[in-house]
Structure 1
Amino acid sequence: METPAADTEKVPTVAAKDNNFVPFVLNGPGINFQTNDNLKFLKNSAALIVPVSDSVNIGIENLKTFLTSNPKQKVTITGYATSDETNTTKFENLGLARAEDVKNYFISKGLSNTQFNTKGEIINSWKTNLDTLLGPAEYKFETIDTMATASDEWSILKDKINANPLILHFSTNKSSENLTADEKQKVADIAKYMDHVKDATVLIVGHTDDVGNREANIALGQKRAEFSKNYLSKNGIEASRINAESKGPDEPAGENTTAEGKAANRRTVITIK
């Protein structure tokens, strides 16, 4: 009796590939994250199913880091719902309600409300697993208006300069070019601003104490303003863009009855206009 051959052909077992997923994708300038898991919603529901998977939460943490570093960046969350679903929410459609719930989840994770917009769309179908919709939301990273951003940055610098202006103090009838490190930084900030904002001008106002007659002090204040103008022009600011004027003793910063007050009044104040 023959023994059955031991080398009968074996058919390899092939695991079935599971394609029943919608990836969670965050893809914008400076961020690229993807995982096959996603946020999920039950059919007809606007409430996000929790807990959310660890892999999706890792993506949300990446998004938080990215948006914190790029405060001007905005993301539009588009939520989807199918035409056969019922909307029982206060929102105009179930897709928008889902987008709002996704946004609220992001906010609960520490992301900024101001960096998100939401909208909703109704479509014919979406990938599901039984009665669960898989990731019915997409994320669009809006293009940043770099010109507006740059304008904001220069506006912030101008506000910084004018909120804490460069003030140069003078001994009686004397002036000095010995600036402190803080004063030199303020000069550098003014020069930087003027270099980028071509229609800006610098205003220098000279002031004095009240010793002597007013006309002489007006002239002295002008002399101090002109001295400061000359200093700035030697440090990168065009003289034609600097206006120098004098208030003399008319706008004291301190009391003229004390030595300290008089010293505070002998000054020029330099701002951006």
Structure 2
Amino acid sequence: MSKKALYLLGIAITIILGTFLYLKFCCNCCEETPKTNKEVPVVISETNFVPFILNGSGIEYRTNDNLKFIKNSYAIILPVSDSVSLGIENLKTFLISNPKQKVTITGYATSDETNTTTFENLGLARANDVKNYFVLKGLAASQFDTKGEITDKWKMDSDTLLGPAEYKFEALDTNSATDEWSILKAKINGDPLILYFNTNKSSESLNAEEKQKVADLVKYTKNIKDAAVLVVGHTDNVGNSDANIVLGQKRAEFSKNYLSKNGIDSARIETQSKGQDEPIADNTTSEGKASNRRTVITIK
């Protein structure tokens, strides 16, 4: 056999042997890796917000932001977001257009929070602070009631409670007459006469708007025989609580005397004092304290 034939035979044997070894040892490499139907877990992210909702007959507003409170505190965290402020402005417009509408504010607190206020519970204190904030923004105090409830838990962000307050819209007495006098009463109570005082002092210097409010009170009481006027005195937080109750009463009595001199029978004027317990502004600033030194005058 020639060398050339031997060379070709060697090549053929090499190819055959290589094919045999490949099929024997590497065949598994050609097999498709079986697919497994592995389930991918679905992660449901919990939304960490409580929406601010105003939902009544004639008003509907919702935003995912809300009023916030530090744990164990009754005071709203300021500043309030733009979206919540817009909702409050919508509520103001709605209530001015509907003086017979009332809103009940229910404040919430968790059972593990500490109540350091003079209110029955921390939820009620928060509801009152929300009401005071609304009044500071120009809403009528007479159109709000407050309640407080304790719950086992509330949605939180770290140590901050998110929106622990709800708003229920209730119709006022629909049987009351809608005549001139009920309209005047709604006007008086919707935008009450408020007299402000310097520290430990009082003043009877009224502007034109305040004088018109006094005139409205006189007109109402002269035409409604059973009408009674309520004067509530308030103070800032300078001094102790008992002394401020006395001071608030003095301011209420001063306002009563002023109204009596201007045409309202003193026997039809009731006075009360809340002292420092119902601030409408921040007592850590001079402007806030000045806003809190006041008497509020309404028709009972």
TM-score by length of 2: 0.45
Between structure 1 and structure 2, the one with the greater Rg is: 2
